[in-house]
Amino acid sequence: MSRTRTAAALLASVVATSACSDEGGFGAGAGADTLDLLADVVLVPPRGSDAPEAFFIQRTEVTNAEFARFLVETGYRRDDEAFLHHWRDAAGRLPEPPQPPRAIVDHPVVFVSLVDAQAYARHRRMRLPTPREFEAAAGTGEEYPFGSFWRPLHANTLELGLDHTTPVGTFESGRSVLGVYDLCGNVAEWTVDENGFSLKGGSFKDDRERARMSESEPVGAPWYLSSVCGFRCAQEAVGYLSARVLDEEKRTDARSAALAGMLSRGGAPARQVLDALVESRPDAESLVRPLLRP
């Protein structure tokens, strides 16, 4: 059997396994109830006394479809044929309005630089995660999101042999214990902190050693882009709740349901975040306090 056919068979096995897995609770994937204002993010609690404060991180990498909506809503463009190269026609032109090929709408967006990713994150009132936050999203402190040892069919890395991206959330068995998908493989992801910027998580072209949670790949310039580099967004928990829930023009019951869902999934850390939210936003008292009653 050829390498291509073998890879296709492996992917079919992964998809079949994902279809039979539990989609409920805190680990719900990209298909989670979109009416929930917090359905596409995961609350990551602090780990240890020197850990960063609780924050939200997107469950999946930003997709081509999500990035296309950003371009339409903001008019953001770059006069660079490498930007979104995989969307362009033979003459190097982006479609107008910009849209990806139908076959990859739910794949992670690539050919976006650090600058492009930050522009998207600002539009969402978020930012890019730090390397430390990216590692914390695994929830275990181990080498991979799924444990200390490599496991086949848990991530889209070089070992799988596909040589292309897969739809976000495909690898159900490879999600972190907190419910974050594709921290390992598929595309390497932009991270930023006070020391600069780097790529984390490895891609479909990287082997399992480069996909370890502890690995970082320095990048020489913020305008760097490639077919293996994407991103997801993060934000401090209280700030995100203020912007995404309290200030959202939604009915009170929708906002209350989002916070109640976070509380039921996140346990004690979520309760602490809601307490902090009331301290910083007294106007949240009437919405939050009923949820915190025993």
List, for residues 155-210, the tens digit of each pLDDT value: 999 999 999 999 999 999 999 999 999 999 999 999 999 999 999 999 999 999 99
The answer to whether residues 47 and 136 touch, using CB atoms and an 8 Å cutoff, is yes
Query: Are 138 and 144 spatial neighbours (Cβ–Cβ below 8 Å)?
Result: yes
DSSP 62: P
The more confidently predicted of residues 259 and 52 is 259
Summarised one tens digit per residue, pLDDT across range 198-253 is 999 999 999 999 999 999 999 989 999 999 999 999 999 999 999 989 887 778 88
Q: How far is CA 167 from the centre of its chain?
A: 12
Q: Residue 31: is its pLDDT beyond 50?
A: no
Q: Which two tokens stand for residue 212?
A: 């370890």
Listed by start position, the domains of the chain span 3-70+74-236, 238-292
Tokens of 3: 């390498």
Return the DSSP state at 39. T
For position 293, what pLDDT does the model report? 83
Phi, psi of 118 (to 5 degrees): -65, -35
Q: Note the pLDDT of residue 260.
A: 92
What is the pLDDT, as a whole number, of residue 248? Answer: 78
pLDDT of residue 136: 94
Q: What are phi and psi of 108, to 5 degrees?
A: -65, 140
Q: Which residues contact 44 (CB under 8 A, 6 or more apart)?
A: 54, 55, 56, 57, 133, 136, 137, 139, 178, 180
Q: What does pTM read for this prediction?
A: 0.88
CATH-assigned architecture of domain 3-70+74-236? Alpha-Beta Complex (3.90)
Model confidence pLDDT, tens digit, residues 110-126: 999 999 999 999 999 99
Does residue 50 surpass a pLDDT of 50? yes
Per-residue pLDDT for 13 more than 60? no
d(CA 225, CA 230): 9
pLDDT at site 254:
87
Q: Among 14-18, 148-152, 200-204, which range has the highest average pLDDT?
A: 200-204
Q: What is the pLDDT of residue 1?
A: 52
Residue from 263, 245, 256 nearest 287 by CA: 256
pLDDT the model gives residue 140:
84
Summarised one tens digit per residue, pLDDT across range 66-107 is 999 999 999 999 989 999 999 999 999 999 999 999 999 999
Task: Please state, for a pLDDT cut of 70, what percent of the chain lies above it.
Answer: 86
Residue 250, phi then psi, degrees to nearest 5: -120, 165
Map residue 131 onto helix, strand or coil: helix
